[in-house]
Amino acid sequence: MHLLITGGAGFIGSHLCEKALEYGHRVTVVDNLSQGLRENIPEGARFVYGDILQPEMWLNKIGPVDIVIHLAAQISVPASEVDPLTDLRLNLEGTLRMLMAAQALGATQFRTASSAAVYGDVPHLPLREDGPVHPIAFYGWSKYTAEQYVFHFAKLHGLDAVVFRLANVYGPRQRTQGEGGVVAVFCEAMAQNRVLEIHGDGQQTRDFIYVEDVARAFLHRLENPGPKTVYNVSTETRTSVYNLFLALAKVAGKPQDGYRLAPVRLGDIHDSVLSQEKAKAWGFVPKTSLEDGLALTWQYFLNQELKP
């Protein structure tokens, strides 16, 4: 199959490209390199420089595709609160333009990344796809609204659409700038022998899933996608930020007092764990334990620091 992957030079996208090539698919990446790196794109994937808000500038370079996997997005919760208009353009208008691009390129499937942020602070855990959504930041609202556009467009134009609400993804190549994931931020601080910051009291909980498992989810059942619906991609395991620090300190051989507390970040929810029930029924389950994933991620960041 020919896959068009937007944001393929980014953290999740580059792992997805690797896995898609491993599975024998043909891969074309569209990315404007505003967040991703050209070096992240694996050999064997074709790269087309392009912006999702201006598909008319690159669409004729692509050729027919079977599936569009749309990952390019504005990913920072705090940035969405400061600049909601940019968040709206990239996450909603960008998704609609990629849906239209998929139709123009003859794609039969469209898959995209949503976020656990759509749920907000909901007291009943684990969070289920059919449960309430109460985003507490513009980012959550833009991602949730984009989901609705995906399914409406798919219904109108006969696309097979799948949306993935991702839990807290971590792994090699994750950036620490902007909306850097907490695992990446912790790893970099430890690799540089810095005292790291834990925002809030450290008891807030997250559902951490390794990036290779997320890549596998995006490629799951391409030949027979099943219902046009939304799936959580998660481990259904609650881990506090403080316990994450302890686990990573153990993996890295670092002291357990190498942190300080910092103020809560704007737009952060306190507890988040996503149900796996629907994804399991679809046939997808993650394979990587938190301990193994942290070890792989730590080794990556340590190697980055050791580079000349």
Distance CA(6)–CA(139), nearest Å, equals 19
Question: 140: closest CA among 166, 111, 108, 170?
Answer: 166
Would you call 259 a catalytic residue per the annotation?
Answer: no
Q: Are 88 and 142 in contact (CB under 8 A)?
A: yes
**Other beta carbons within 10 Å of 308:** 2
Return the amino acid letter for 62: I
Q: Is 275 left (phi over 0), alpha (psi -120 to 50) or beta?
A: beta
Distances (CA, A) of 115 to 49, 122, 164: 26, 14, 7
Give CA 78 to chain center in angstroms. Answer: 16
Which residue in the list 23, 49, 139, 210 is annotated as catalytic?
Answer: 139
Strands (E), 173-305: 196-199, 205-206, 208-210, 229-233, 239-240, 259-262
Residue/partner pairs of 275-280 with CB below 8 Å, 24 or more apart: 275/126, 275/127, 275/128, 275/129, 275/232, 275/234, 275/236, 276/126, 276/232, 276/234, 276/235, 276/236, 277/128, 278/128, 278/129, 278/229, 278/231, 278/232, 279/217, 279/231, 279/232, 279/233, 279/234
| DSSP summary character for residue 90 | I
Beta partners for residue 31, in sequence order: 49
- Which sequence positions are flagged as catalytic? 139
